[in-house]
Amino acid sequence: MSLEQTIAHIGPLDEAAMAAARVRQDNLTKPRGSLGRLEALSIHVAGITGQTQPRITHKVIITMAGDHGVVAEGVNAYPQEVTAQMVYNFLRGGAGINVLARHVGARVVVVDMGVAATLQPHPELVIQKVALGTQNIARGAAMTRQQAIQSIEAGITVVEAEIARGLDIVGVGEMGIGNSTPAAAIVAAFTGRSAAEVVGRGSGVDDAGLARKISAVQRALAVNRPDPFDGLDVLAKLGGFEIGGMAGVMLGAAAHRRPVVVDGFISTAAAMIAVAIAPQVRSYLIAAHRSQEPGHQAMLTWLGLTPLMDLDMRLGEGTGAALGISLVEAACKILSEMATFAEAGVSDRQ
């Protein structure tokens, strides 16, 4: 579907399914509320899917890769060619996301959204390349508005293809050397926070590198003057092709009533873009964890999301989303597999 069609298909949560799920939760063989957020999580997923007892069987993590022109400003500890090298590592199954995806029983879908190299063909590599990396945001717009739309629609195409294969829940992740800089610029644009408040060390820059990142974000905001009320404008001026792709995955999944587990700092920047474009998508998002990046909490606050975990993670790739998917699956299993007082023949409270 096109971006406009996708937005039109995103409906509200199913209140009837949530009410039925809430009744069942309150009658399971446990003190009411004793499983805390797991109970609320299962009710939320019932509302997303429209199923009173949602089942999570087909788990997918979509990891999108793209490069960034802002690396020319010395904002990263690693050279740009690491993006392509890590894509090959994903395809070989050797990265952190591969390990955690195997752990939770999810398949990993690797997408080239804008790596600054021509990657070797691979049967498991999805090519949706918009361009060979973005332009330098410290000196002008990252991409054109049409490229921003193209990246989002590519994400919609990818998630719809995976839904056709079988997808009950999707986690979003990324790979892109330098991408914590555009993510910081995005959160500053939407929240009005200063660059110094939201810029972190990313993959581990030293103090001089941190100062260069802060300066790059300040210049990106001053040069581009993004409109915080226009998500496409923010994406085009400050974002990345993988960020647009992840936003498209979120929008496409919501249009098909699938829960979306958002990973860390970069993925949450994509969530901000998606929500700015279509506010109704917010109800379909589940924040996996709180990143070490200082700007991440500002993002979560702006989105109104409470993360499931806080493990001091900052790897990206979808690693936090994989663990989040495991918790969502556990919550849904409690709702569907645990016996009610009546089913178990156990006396309820007086």
Q: How far apart are CA 250 and CA 258, in angstroms?
A: 9
- 45: its two tokens: 């997923």
Q: Decide the pairing of beta strands 169-175 and 285-287.
A: unpaired
- Helix %, strand %, coil % of the chain (to 5): 55, 10, 35
- pLDDT of 80: 95
Which residue type, as a one-letter code, is found at position 110? V
φ/ψ of residue 41, rounded to 5: -65, -45
The CATH class of 3-54+334-344 is mainly alpha
The pLDDT, as a whole number, for residue 350 is: 56
The pLDDT value recorded for residue 203 is 77
Contact call for residues 309 and 320 (beta carbons, < 8 A): yes
Q: Domain-by-domain residue ranges, the chain? A: 3-54+334-344, 59-327
Tokens of 151: 């990246």
d(CA 281, CA 293): 24
Instruction: Write phi, then psi, for 170 (nearest 5 degrees).
Output: -130, 135
Residue partners of 41: CB distance under 8 A and separation at least 6 = 286, 308, 327, 328, 331
Tell me whether residue 160 is one of the annotated catalytic residues.
no
* Contact partners, residue 8, CB within 8 Å, separation at least 6: none
> What CATH fold (topology level) applies to the domain 59-327?
Rossmann fold (3.40.50)
Output the pLDDT for position 243.
98
In degrees and rounded to multiples of 5, residue 338 shows phi and psi of -75, 140
The confidence score (pLDDT) of residue 209 equals: 86
pTM score, two decimals? 0.97
Residue 348 has what pLDDT? 83
Per-residue DSSP letter, 32: T
Q: How many CA atoms lie within 13 A of 273 on its CB side?
A: 39
List C-alpha distances in Å: 244 to 30, 74, 153, 325. Answer: 43, 23, 8, 22
3-class DSSP assignment, residue 161: helix
153, 160, 174, 317: the active-site residue: 317
Tokens of 314: 């900052």
Q: Specify the amino acid at residue 194.
A: S
Residue 312's pLDDT is: 93
Pair 249, 156: CB distance under 8 Å: yes
Q: What is the pLDDT along the chain (350 residues), one digit of tens a residue?
A: 999 999 999 999 999 999 999 999 999 999 999 999 999 999 999 999 999 999 999 999 999 999 999 999 989 888 999 999 999 999 999 999 999 999 999 999 999 999 999 999 999 999 999 999 999 999 999 999 999 999 999 999 999 999 999 999 999 999 999 999 999 999 999 999 999 999 998 878 888 988 999 999 999 999 999 999 999 999 999 999 999 999 999 999 999 999 999 999 999 999 999 999 999 999 999 999 999 999 999 999 999 999 999 999 999 999 999 999 999 999 999 999 999 999 989 998 75
